[in-house]
C-alpha cells in the first residue's frame, strides 16, 4: 500500500498535521483511541492553548526555533477553530483556555478536521521497522496482519516518554537516530519533586501561593506539599528548569514582606510570638512545622535584625530535592529531536527530505498552561501545510 503522507502518532500534533497534509494521508497509532492525552488533559477539560503564548515560554536548546511555527499558526488561529466548531470555553487563570464541557470535544474537532481533509486513521496498529530508499517503508501490524506501507513523506508525531502507562514510547527518538538526527537527552518536565527523607509528610495536603525558582524564571502559583515531596503548578513549572542535584528557592510569601510585617507587629503587638503573627500570612500547619527552628521569645524581645533575617529565610527557603517523580507522572518530556536538524518553517529534517518531526518529540517544551498543546498545533500545522503546498 502506498500513501503520500504517513503520520506516526494520532495524538495532538499528528491529528493537527493530518488535518492539513492533504487527502492521501494515513495516521497510525498503537493506542485504541486517538488523542488520549488530550482527553485526560486539564482534568478532562483540556487546557488547549494560552492567550499569552510567546516564544520565550518554551524551553529548547535553540530558543529561536519555535518562533516561526508559533507566529504562523497562533493561539488565535486555534481559538478560531475551536469557535468554528461551537466549543464553548473559558479562561481559568493566567491566559489558560479550557473547554466548558469536555476535552473530548477537542479530540472530536480534530478527527472531524482530519476526516474533512481526507485523512485515514488506523488505531490499534503496531509500528515496526522503518526504512528509506528515496521512499519511506514502514511495517505495520494491524488485526494480526502485517502491512507494508510506503510513503513519500513520513511525519514523526509519537510524542515524548511521559506517562508510559498511556502508551508513550521513545519511537520518535529511535527513528530519528536511525536517520542520524541528533536527539537532545530527554528528561521528565512539569513533574513533582521528591525528597527521600519524606520530610514534608506531616504537611501533605497543605497548599499556599509561592514563588519557586530553579535555574531560570521564577513562577508564582500554588505550591502543594505531598507525602513524597512538593507539587503544584509553581513546582511543576520550576521542575522544567531544574538541573538534577541543584537547590530550588521557595518564597513562601511572595505577596507580603514578612520581615517588615514582623517589625511592624513588634511595635503594635510586641507581646505576641512569631507563630501567632506568621499564622496570619502562612498556613497554620506550615507555621507549626517550621516553628521549632524559631526563637520562642515575644516579638518585643527580639532584635529587628533577627526578625528581618527570619523574614528573608521565609522568602528564600533553599531546598534540594532528591529527584522527581519521573516519567510516571511528568506532564511532558524535555529534550527530544534536536531542532538543529530541522527546518523551523516546515519541521522537515534538513538531511532527509520528506521526513518531518512535530510536537513533543521535538526539543521544544512549553510551560504549564496550554503551551504544549499550542506547540503541537503550530508544529503540526507547519508540517501539514508544507506537505500540502508542494
How far, in Å, CA of 66 to CA of 82, rounded?
22
Consecutive H or E run containing 355: strand 355-357
Of 194, 230, 219, 166, give the one whose Cα is nearest residue 369: 219
Q: Interface with ligand FAD by CB under 6 A: which residues? A: 9-14, 29-31, 36-37, 40-42, 46-47, 127, 157-159, 162-163, 167-169, 171, 331-332, 359-361, 370-373, 376
How far, in Å, CA of 233 to CA of 375, rounded?
19
Closer to ligand FAD by Cβ: residue 47 or 153 = 47
Closer to ligand FAD by Cβ: residue 36 or 113 = 36
Closer to ligand FAD by Cβ: residue 168 or 258 = 168
Q: What is the DSSP string of 223-279?
A: EEE-SSEEESHHHHHHHTT--TT--EEEES-TTS-HHHHHHHHHHH-TTS-HHHHHT
Closer to ligand FAD by Cβ: residue 110 or 299 = 110
Closer to ligand FAD by Cβ: residue 229 or 233 = 233
Closer to ligand FAD by Cβ: residue 138 or 203 = 138
C-beta of 256: minimal distance to ligand FAD in Å?
30
Question: Is the Cα dihedral 19, 22, 24, 30 positive or negative?
Answer: negative
Residue 217's CB is within 10 A of a number of other CB atoms, namely 12
Do 235 and 224 form a contact (C-beta atoms < 8 A)?
A: yes
Amino acid at each position: 500500500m502506498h500513501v503520500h503522507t504517513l503520520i506516526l502518532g494520532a495524538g495532538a500534533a499528528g491529528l493537527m498535521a493530518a488535518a492539513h497534509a492533504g487527502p492521501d494521508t494515513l495516521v497510525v497509532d498503537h493506542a485504541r483511541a486517538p488523542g488520549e492525552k488530550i482527553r485526560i488533559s486539564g482534568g478532562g477539560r483540556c487546557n488547549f492553548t494560552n492567550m499569552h503564548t510567546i516564544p520565550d515560554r518554551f524551553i529548547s536548546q535553540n530558543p529561536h526555533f519555535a518562533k516561526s511555527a508559533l507566529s504562523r499558526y497562533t493561539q488565535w488561529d486555534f481559538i478560531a477553530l475551536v469557535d468554528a466548531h461551537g466549543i464553548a470555553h473559558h479562561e481559568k487563570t493566567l491566559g489558560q483556555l479550557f473547554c466548558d464541557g469536555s476535552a473530548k470535544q477537542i479530540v472530536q474537532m480534530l478527527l472531524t478536521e482530519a476526516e474533512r481533509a481526507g485523512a485515514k486513521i488506523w488505531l490499534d496498529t503496531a509500528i515496526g521497522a522503518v526504512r528509506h530508499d528515496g521512499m519511506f517503508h514502514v511495517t505495520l501490524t494491524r488485526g494480526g496482519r502485517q502491512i507494508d506501507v510506503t510513503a513519500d513523506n513520513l511525519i514523526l508525531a509519537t510524542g515524548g516518554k511521559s506517562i508510559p502507562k498511556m502508551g508513550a514510547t521513545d519511537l520518535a527518538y529511535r527513528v530519528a537516530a536511525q536517520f542520524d538526527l541528533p536527539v537532545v537527552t530527554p528528561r521528565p518536565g512539569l513533574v513533582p519533586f521528591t525528597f527521600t527523607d519524606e520530610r514534608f509528610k506531616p504537611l501533605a495536603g497543605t497548599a499556599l501561593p509561592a514563588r519557586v525558582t530553579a535555574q531560570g524564571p521564577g513562577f508564582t502559583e500554588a505550591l502543594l506539599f505531598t507525602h513524597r515531596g512538593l507539587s503544584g503548578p509553581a513546582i511543576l513549572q520550576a521542575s522544567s528548569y531544574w538541573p538534577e542535584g541543584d537547590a530550588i528557592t521557595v518564597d513562601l510569601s511572595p505577596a507580603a514582606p514578612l520581615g517588615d510585617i514582623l517589625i511592624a507587629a513588634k511595635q503594635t503587638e510586641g507581646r505576641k510570638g512569631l507563630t501567632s503573627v506568621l499564622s496570619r500570612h502562612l498556613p497554620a500547619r506550615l507555621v507549626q512545622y517550621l516553628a521549632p527552628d524559631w526563637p520562642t521569645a515575644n516579638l518585643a524581645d527580639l532584635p529587628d535584625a533577627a526578625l528581618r533575617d527570619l523574614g528573608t529565610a521565609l522568602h528564600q527557603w533553599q531546598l534540594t530535592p532528591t529527584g522527581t517523580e519521573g516519567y510516571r507522572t511528568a506532564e511532558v518530556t524535555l529534550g527530544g529531536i534536536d531542532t538543529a536538524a530541522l527546518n523551523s518553517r516546515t519541521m522537515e529534517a534538513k538531511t532527509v527530505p520528506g521526513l518531518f518531526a512535530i510536537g513533543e518529540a521535538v526539543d521544544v517544551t512549553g510551560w504549564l498552561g496550554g503551551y504544549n498543546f499550542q506547540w503541537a498545533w503550530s508544529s503540526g500545522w507547519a508540517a501539514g501545510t508544507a506537505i500540502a503546498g508542494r
